[in-house]
Amino acid sequence: MPIDQVRSSRALTKAEFHRRLKAWLFETDDATIGQGTQGRTGWVHVRDKGRLFKLNSDCSRTAVKHYLDLVSLHGDDLDWQITTSNLGNWTAVLFGPKTIRYKSFPLYAARPRRS
């Protein structure tokens, strides 16, 4: 069963986002969080420090596991920083104190930041 879609108007906190990812990872065997949906659909919206982010529906189990490993190391308040995407938009996210960019975990700023 996929994670329930969360629209921007009901964006989750980062802690709730992590809780739902963990539940999905350990309680389902779905290949992606939005199983059966079109790939780049913004599936789960999260609000952090006044910014809105979205995780795309094609996010895989492997990517969720890798991301949750970072959360285990650095806690629910894992730092998210916005950087430029491959297309030059200010939407890509860097994670943690080492500012790791994990391209397989499709979390993006929902609205591009201006450079």
Per-residue pLDDT of 81-91, as tens digits, reads 999 998 899 99
User: Domain residues for 60?
Assistant: 8-109
* Mean pLDDT within 4-11: 95
Inform me whether the pLDDT recorded for 113 exceeds 90: no
Kindly state whether residue 42 falls inside one of the protein's structural domains. yes
**DSSP summary character for residue 9:** G
Residue 3 domain-assigned? no
Instruction: State how far the Cα of 59 lies from the Cα of 66, in Å rounded to an integer.
Output: 11
The strand ranges marked E within 5-50 are 42-48
Number of domains in the chain: 1
**Residues contacting 59, CB < 8 A, separation 6+:** 32, 33, 34, 43, 105, 106, 107
String of DSSP letters for 44-113: EEEEETTEEEEEETT-BHHHHHHHHHHHHHH-TT--EEEE--TTS-TTEEEETTTTB--TTS-EEESSPP
* pLDDT for 3 beyond 80: yes
Do the domain assignments include residue 71?
Answer: yes
